Structure 1
Amino acid sequence: MSVADLFSVDSEQPGVMWRWRRRLWQWKEEMLAECRALLLDVLLFPNDHSGATTDAELVWHKQVPLKISVFALRFLQDRLLTKTNLIARRVLSNDMSLCVAGCGHPETAQHLFLLCNTFGSLWHMVRGWIGCSGVDADNLSDHFLQFTYLTGGAKSRRSFMQLIWLLCAWVVWNERNNRLFNNVITLISRLLDKVKMLSLTWLKAKKATFVFGTQQWWSCPLVCLGIG
């Protein structure tokens, strides 16, 4: 059963019928509550004949941890605590808006993930690793959809690219927070290594027959997946 199915069980109180075999830890209860709150803003419709997919649907992936899907939904709805959003809420003053990469631009979600010369370069490096080319859209939702279809329309390819996009966004946000709160800077080439390692870890966790090691994965991920 999908997240959408669970959410729509009770039309009077959406999401209240979710059930779990074991009692959730406190941090998972908090994450679930946040997920329900986010879903209240989402309208789900049956696919039409065009087969169009929305970014709200793409954030849910069976091989991606729930907390990252919730993060991605907040990100696409511009609900992350970026500096510009904190200024709009009067948490920060106007003179504290600049991106942590030192590029001199205000830290909006769009800038941080796509337009920043530092963090935005990760997408180019990831495409180089996978072996595909493309031009980045400057809109977050369009970028997500475009990236998902970069290697073709086959389901297995779309699923992999979807996972990689979600992972890249998560890696960038964590690096932003490390720079802001811990004064720790990681080279973008090392962030690419994180994307490679975490994607391999996620795939192995959900597929016991996935036997490829880091050397093969680092060299040709699509071949390892049998879709190269």
Structure 2
Amino acid sequence: MLGMHSDPDISWAKAWHKLIPSKVSCLVWRLFQNRVATKDNLSRRGVIGQGSLQCVGECGVEEESASHLFFECPVFAGVWYRICKWLGVSTVFHNEGLSHLEQFEGLTGIGRVFVDRVSVIWFASIWCIWKARNDKVFKNKEVHIDKIIESVKILSWNWLKFKASNLEYNMAHWCLNPRVYLGCPVYI
């Protein structure tokens, strides 16, 4: 089943991250369990009708699922492409939450500090995609990838600034080159 990992303790431990606000960890844990309030899940619960399932990214997909929204939708997949470009890496990602996070953590470096810090960017990306989706659904705001990317950069820097130790890196430098702070080589 999408979003389900064979060991629930692993998904629990990955979702509840010390550098992440609890409301974001809750969203991620629900993503790992395929319990996010996406349109397909709301339809299965009888909250919305079958005619309301179309993806908010206006990509033409008939049903908004968690995997589609966060990882497959061409609109929101652009977020991951741009984040990877910002980090100076490229890859093809999994379309399942926990596998996607684990792959993201292994992109550019090793070590516990690196994994903690780079995963903050992943959590911020998930949160910003979810907020953009909700802004479209509830406020009819247009989805702008540039705004989502900017929000990811600011949010991840803020979370690291206030919760991680030794962040002596200003936001302008973070937005230009996060690799230095993440502890990975400047060029791959």
TM-score, normalised to structure 1's length? 0.73
Paired amino acid for 1:148: E
Deviation at residue 66 of structure 1 after TM alignment: 1.1
Paired amino acid for 1:69: S
Q: Deviations over 1:153-212 (max 9, x none)?
A: 321221122111111111101100000000112410111110111111111112464232
Paired amino acid for 2:74: N
* Among 122, 125, 128, the residue aligned to 1:168: 125
In structure 1, how many angstroms separate the alpha carbons of the residues matched to 2:165 and 2:120?
18
Q: Deviations over 1:37-89 (max 9, x none)?
A: xxxxx853xxxxxxxxx333211221111111111101111111111111111
Relative contact order, higher structure (CA 8 A, sep 6+): 2
Gaps of 5+ in 2: 1-6
* Residue 77 (structure 1) aligned with residue 77 (structure 2): no
Deviation at residue 117 of structure 1 after TM alignment: 0.5
Match of 2:3 in 1: none
Match of 1:89 in 2: 45
Deviation at residue 110 of structure 1 after TM alignment: 0.5
Q: Is the 8 A contact 2:120 2:160 kept in 1?
A: no
Bigger radius of gyration among the two: 1
Moved more, 175-184 or 204-213: 204-213
For residues 58 and 208 of structure 1, do their structure 2 counterparts lie closer, same or farther at Cα, with a shift above 3 Å needed? Answer: closer
Q: Is the 8 A contact 1:196 1:218 kept in 2?
A: yes
Match of 1:120 in 2: 77
* Among 44, 49, 67, the residue aligned to 2:23: 67
- Alpha-carbon RMSD: 1.7
TM-score, normalised to structure 2's length? 0.88
For residues 82 and 43 of structure 1, do their structure 2 counterparts lie closer, same or farther at Cα, with a shift above 3 Å needed? Answer: closer
Percent sequence identity is 33
Q: Report the number of matched residues.
A: 178
In structure 1, how many angstroms separate the alpha carbons of the residues matched to 2:58 and 2:78?
15
Deviation at residue 227 of structure 1 after TM alignment: 3.5
Match of 2:4 in 1: none
For residues 207 and 150 of structure 1, do their structure 2 counterparts lie closer, same or farther at Cα, with a shift above 3 Å needed? Answer: closer
